[in-house]
Amino acid sequence: VALEGFELRVLHLPLVSPFTTSFGTETVREVIVVRALTAEGEGWGEIVTQQSPLYSSEYTYGAWDVAQRFLIPALLDRQTVAAEDVAATLEPFVGHRMVKAGLELAVLDAALRAEGRPLGEYLGAVRDRIPSGVSVGIQRDPAALVDAVGGYLDEGYVRIKIKIKPGRDIGDTAAVRDAFGDITLQVDANSAYTLADADTLAELDRFDLLLIEQPLQEDDLVDHAALAAHLRTPVCLDESITSRKTAADALALGAASVINIKAGRVGGYLEAVAIHDLCHGAGIPVWCGGMLETGIGRAANAALAALPGFTLPGDVSASSRFFTRDIVTEPITLEEGHVRVPDGAGLGVQIDPVALDDVTVERVELRR
């Protein structure tokens, strides 16, 4: 596409209920959306950083700065850019993968909308709907957790993931198993443990969990391999997987037997497909993680999760899981426990300009 500029906005979307993980509590989703302005038309992307660098080193105003100071100028230096060239153009800049992913998605959406081609078809989707799981935050106590999980099961979610942290692990998991029996259940520690906690984590083995996600730190690949050898529960990596290369390294080390793929964390949907292809070839199951996306990222995640190697239900839930009002005109909905893969051009969802303006707290436009 012939790039003319980019618009960036910081949004504040109120959450329907506070979302607590081992690293903190959010009540408002602060997120950046990107609009690519091209001669062929516009395209939308989402930069999934959070307000504070707690899940990853990236955060809203770091993303806001690096996008305007370095990444967007590098893209605008080119006359025309294909979505397939964005990663290589931004490659000299170390890290900032969530920002790169958001910019790449906006360019890709513009190109696909101009061609009239759906994102799912472009990425290699083989399904028109995907099974939907839900990520449930840490609650006041195990009884409140059972209430929350019960509500999501009633809505039809086919897989439950509960957040755990030291002191809120065995009891919370036992409460959910006792209340709901044989549901598809997994846990996510968001790096809250060390290898010294291996015996506590082994107590989770008796709950027949689908997997435990990211028990140790982002750079603890060797420790994850040691822990995996100590557990019957399969170890899945999230934070540690920042690229196709780290995915290959993790698999070579035996640090994971399942991988959570998030396009933002790995620098874009094209890198996400490369990790999918690697894992699919190696017989390693993958699933699509989430970052409390708006309808933009949620539509793109639904397309990604429709690839053949996504054999486990992911965290692509309905927009209503987090928001009372989405910024797209057709929010993502749950139908018999599934989310439909949009089949319109590009992302296949349209921005609601009024809803978008209502949650915008900052806006900037950069033109070439």
Catalytic residues: 163, 262
Return residues touching ligand OSB (CB under 6 A).
55, 135, 188, 190, 238, 289-292, 315, 317
**Taking CB positions, which residue lies at the least distance from Mg ion?**
238
Q: Which is nearer to Mg ion, 238 or 271 (CB)?
A: 238
Q: Which of ligand OSB, Mg ion, none has residue 271 at its interface (CB below 5 to 8 Å by kind)?
A: none
Q: Which is nearer to Mg ion, 169 or 238 (CB)?
A: 238
Q: Which of ligand OSB, Mg ion, none has residue 186 at its interface (CB below 5 to 8 Å by kind)?
A: none
CB of 297 to ligand OSB, least distance (A): 9
Q: What is the DSSP letter of 206?
A: G
**Which residue type, as a one-letter code, is found at position 2?**
A
CB of 317 to ligand OSB, least distance (A): 5
Return residues touching Mg ion (CB under 5 A).
188, 213, 238
CA distance 187 to 192: 12
CA distance 240 to 195: 15
CB of 314 to ligand OSB, least distance (A): 9
Q: Which is nearer to ligand OSB, 129 or 368 (CB)?
A: 129
State whether residue 124 is helix, strand or coil: coil
Q: Which of ligand OSB, Mg ion, none has residue 55 at its interface (CB below 5 to 8 Å by kind)?
A: ligand OSB
CB of 55 to ligand OSB, least distance (A): 4
Q: Compute the CA torsion angle 279, 280, 284, 290 (nearest 10 deg).
A: 70
Contact status, residue 184 vs residue 153, Cβ threshold 8 Å: no
CB of 364 to ligand OSB, least distance (A): 25
Q: Which is nearer to Mg ion, 119 or 261 (CB)?
A: 261
The residues near 262 (Cβ < 8 Å, ≥ 6 apart) are 48, 238, 272, 288, 289, 290, 291
Contact status, residue 210 vs residue 159, Cβ threshold 8 Å: yes
CA distance 238 to 242: 8
Q: Which is nearer to Mg ion, 163 or 276 (CB)?
A: 163
**Taking CB positions, which residue lies at the least distance from ligand OSB?**
290
Contact status, residue 364 vs residue 158, Cβ threshold 8 Å: no
Contact status, residue 341 vs residue 128, Cβ threshold 8 Å: yes
Q: Which of ligand OSB, Mg ion, none has residue 292 at its interface (CB below 5 to 8 Å by kind)?
A: ligand OSB
The residues near 347 (Cβ < 8 Å, ≥ 6 apart) are 44, 109, 119, 296, 299, 300, 303
